[in-house]
Amino acid sequence: MDMSENHRHDPYAFMGVPQLGIRNYWYPALASWRLGRRPKAVKMLGEDIVLFRDDKKIYALQDRCAHRGAKLSRGKCLYPGSGTLSCPYHGWTYKGETGKVIAKLVEGPDAPIPDKARVKTYPVREFRGAIWVFIGDMAAVPLEDDLPECIAKPDEWHMIWNWRTYKCDWRLLSDNLSHDQHAPFVHRNSPEMLLKPIFPHATRNATEPLDNGKGIGHRAYDGVTSAEYPDLGRFPPKQEWYRLLKATGRAVEMDPVNAPAVKKYGIRFRHMSMLPAIHLIGRPSGDFFTCRWILPIDQSTTILYNFNLFRRRGKLGFISDWMDWIIWKSWAHDWLFSDQDKWIVEHVTPGPELLSRTDISVTAWRRFSMANARQPPATNPVVFAPRAATAK
């Protein structure tokens, strides 16, 4: 891999990473409890979508009436039980299942309904207290195909989650979460790290495809806890007061052989990136993952879903995980630690970049994701036709 390669101007365009997100995947759209009796407008990958709930089912439609353009999300489910949503303007009533108009309420039951009277439907599922929507240009795959195992298996993992809106391009946030080694720098004074071993820095990074083919695992080795720089001095700098509180000792990312995660559970990586834009960071214990799922909204807005996943360890374990989250993780990690990244990525000026050894994982992830992103099946398969070769 040629690390000296400098992507001038727009490195994302150069690698083909799309500005509004990687299509043809499931994404979390909304917490279930936020969708009540009123339809709800959401924006995902630049598309305006209305979610509504009727008779215990959830539907997702394009949020613009085919008739004269009113927002369906301002309409109502006038006929509970029918799985329909009526436009607020002239009562065009859409079947949630098909997106087809089945009645034009003010035009009368005999109104002709042309085939064009329909809006796009989105595959939607409710699972683990979240509403998931498939955004793309093909038939949806099963939701489970796109979920990391720890989310897909509620019997084995319980989950505490929240989300935060970032005012930035989603790709800047994805880079930030791709094990780009900013942690020992940006987070060195985070309260969460105060009593923990020092993050190693000056590591060498390597990546490997995951066994399931859906992403890559990041590995960092040969890190150090401090180093001497010519003309500058030691890093981390000696004078930083919070070093005093910090336990010394070499921090290892994860023992690749003896860590319980590896031995007991076969989890090979502490940090994984998966398609479409999911970054999993675990612990050597193998009992916890923070799963950070990026949802592109528009060119300068991104939602970061922060799923904390705890391996089920009986009732007491469950209580203690919740206590841990309420007393500590909720603010020390989900708030303060994460906001250090937010503070940075919201103040990056997109443009040329000069990649370095620390960015091996970033580049690897960009490449993997662009090479392996799901593609809609070709609609016009090329048929063998010898004479076509010369056609233009």
Task: Describe the strand order of the beta sheet including 157-166 as a list of residue ranges.
Answer: 157-166, 301-311, 288-298, 278-282, 271-274, 215-221, 204-209
* Residue 1 DSSP code: -
Asked if 213 touches a copy of itself (CB under 8 A), the answer is no
Closest distance to a copy of itself from the beta carbon of 167 (Å): 14
Which one among 19, 82, 98, 285 touches a copy of itself, defined by CB under 8 A? 82
Relative to beta strand 84-86, strand 92-95 is: antiparallel
Element (H, E) at 371: helix 360-372
* Residue 118 DSSP code: B
> Can you give the C-alpha Rg of the chain in angstroms?
24
- Region of 132-140, 154-162, 176-184, 242-250 interacting with a copy of itself (CB under 8 A): 176-184
Angstrom distance (rounded) from CA 283 to CA 81 = 46
Closest distance to a copy of itself from the beta carbon of 307 (Å): 25
> Chain centroid to CA 323: how far?
26
Angstrom distance (rounded) from CA 392 to CA 383 = 16
Which of 84, 85, 163, 83 lies closest to 130 in space, CA to CA? 163
Which one among 10, 32, 43, 88 touches a copy of itself, defined by CB under 8 A? 88
Asked if 344 touches a copy of itself (CB under 8 A), the answer is yes
Asked if 342 touches a copy of itself (CB under 8 A), the answer is no
Specify the residue, 196 or 234, whose C-beta has the smaller distance to a copy of itself: 234
Asked if 14 touches a copy of itself (CB under 8 A), the answer is no
Angstrom distance (rounded) from CA 277 to CA 302 = 12
Other residues' Cβ atoms within 10 Å of the Cβ of residue 176: 24
Specify the residue, 89 or 335, whose C-beta has the smaller distance to a copy of itself: 89
Binding mask 310-329 for a copy of itself (x = CB under 8 A): --------------------
Specify the residue, 154 or 351, whose C-beta has the smaller distance to a copy of itself: 351
Contact at 8 Å (CB) between 58 and 52?
yes
Binding mask 103-142 for a copy of itself (x = CB under 8 A): xxxxxxxxxx-x-xx-------------------------
Half-sphere exposure of 250 (CA within 13 A, CB side): 11
Angstrom distance (rounded) from CA 120 to CA 323 = 44
Asked if 71 touches a copy of itself (CB under 8 A), the answer is yes
Angstrom distance (rounded) from CA 338 to CA 332 = 9
Specify the residue, 155 or 228, whose C-beta has the smaller distance to a copy of itself: 228
Task: Count the site residues for a copy of itself by CB under 8 A.
Answer: 68
Which one among 144, 343, 375, 388 touches a copy of itself, defined by CB under 8 A? 343
Sign of the four-CA dihedral 66, 67, 70, 73: negative
- Region of 70-78, 242-250, 300-308, 311-319 interacting with a copy of itself (CB under 8 A): 70-78
Asked if 244 touches a copy of itself (CB under 8 A), the answer is no
Closest distance to a copy of itself from the beta carbon of 93 (Å): 7
Specify the residue, 235 or 265, whose C-beta has the smaller distance to a copy of itself: 235
* Residue 350 DSSP code: -
Which one among 91, 191, 256, 260 touches a copy of itself, defined by CB under 8 A? 91
Residues that bind a copy of itself (CB under 8 A): 4, 6, 48, 64, 66-71, 74, 78-79, 82, 84, 88-91, 93, 102-112, 114, 116-117, 175, 180-182, 184-186, 201-202, 224, 227-233, 235, 237, 343-344, 347-359
